[in-house]
Amino acid sequence: MDIAKYIGQFLLKNHFCYIHGLGNMELHKLPATHDGKALLAPSYSVAVTPGGSIDDNLANFIATNELISISKAANALRDYSIQARKDMALGKEVPIPNIGKFVEENGKVTFITDANFRFTPAGIPTIKNSKQLEEQNSKPAHKPSYPPPHKADSINWSMVILVAVLLLILGGGGYGIWYYTIGSSNKSIKTPLPVIIRDTTPAPPPAPDTTHLQPDSLSMPLTMPVDSMQLGTYKMSVKSYHSKNQADKRVKTMEINGVHAETLQLDSLNYLVLASVSCRAMDTTHCKDSLARLYGFKNVQIFK
């Protein structure tokens, strides 16, 4: 099983690839440059950053292409990572075909991009080509078979309503002038009836009923919900041993794979191995399952 080939394919497809024990590979776009004579097109390079969140995306990709189980693909990926760290510790290079190679500099894993590496992102498909556009432009414009609507048919009803309202206002005003000037002179003087003015101010909304609340709850501040997206460091108990040498051996193996671990002595006969994992509060269950699947542990719990 060529793990390096699948790493390169997954990186070019998703622009990133997390490898447990090596780091997170990212595909970066470099801006266009000018060499003094011509403008060079933008290029791409690959960089490796330490750490990263534990995920099984690469293992799922390998299992899908190889038609094997995810656990088997994860074991193969773990063996590749362990062997790559050993080779780099001896000064060897770990190549990724057609992309570059892993090297270790001052105890830090870095990636050197191949000088001949070229990457072209997928283009946006077009619906019509230039020949189709020329043919459409050469054809006469299509004329509708039905007659165009007359301008008189389109009536602006808002203007009609506005004119009608203005006429009603002018008519009412003219009648009022005639009534109080000419019409009132022909009639006996009558005592005008009092004008009743109704209060149209809306009543204020009723006050909320606070009789069922406790006295302290009226001034109690609202409690903000806990942010489940915040990162935190959790210590997880992975396995206990009856010998300190066995526990230290397991800690050393996990440190090689990039997981910080330590040995905790419970009593004179039991030693507990703790792994420190940095993740969000909502991802703790996923991290526990990933540790159990990678190392074959049966019961991984958060150590309190």
Q: Where are the domains of the chain?
A: 3-113, 231-302
Work out the number of other CB atoms within 10 angstroms of the CB of residue 40. 12
The share of the chain scoring above pLDDT 90, in percent, equals 22
Burial class from Cβ neighbours inside 10 Å (0-12, 13-18, 19+) for residue 288 reads: buried
d(CA 163, CA 152): 18
pLDDT in tens, 157-200: 888 898 999 898 988 877 777 777 766 555 555 555 554 445 55
Considering the segment(s) 231-302 as one domain, its CATH architecture is 2-Layer Sandwich (3.30)
Joined together, the tokens standing for residue 275 give: 């792994």
pLDDT in tens, 111-134: 999 888 887 776 555 555 556 666
d(CA 14, CA 21): 20
DSSP 8-state code for residue 213: S
Task: Name the nearest CA neighbour of 3 among 66, 91, 50, 55.
Answer: 66
d(CA 294, CA 258): 12
Look at residue 247 and tell me whether its pLDDT is greater than 70.
yes
Mean pLDDT of the 239-259 span = 86
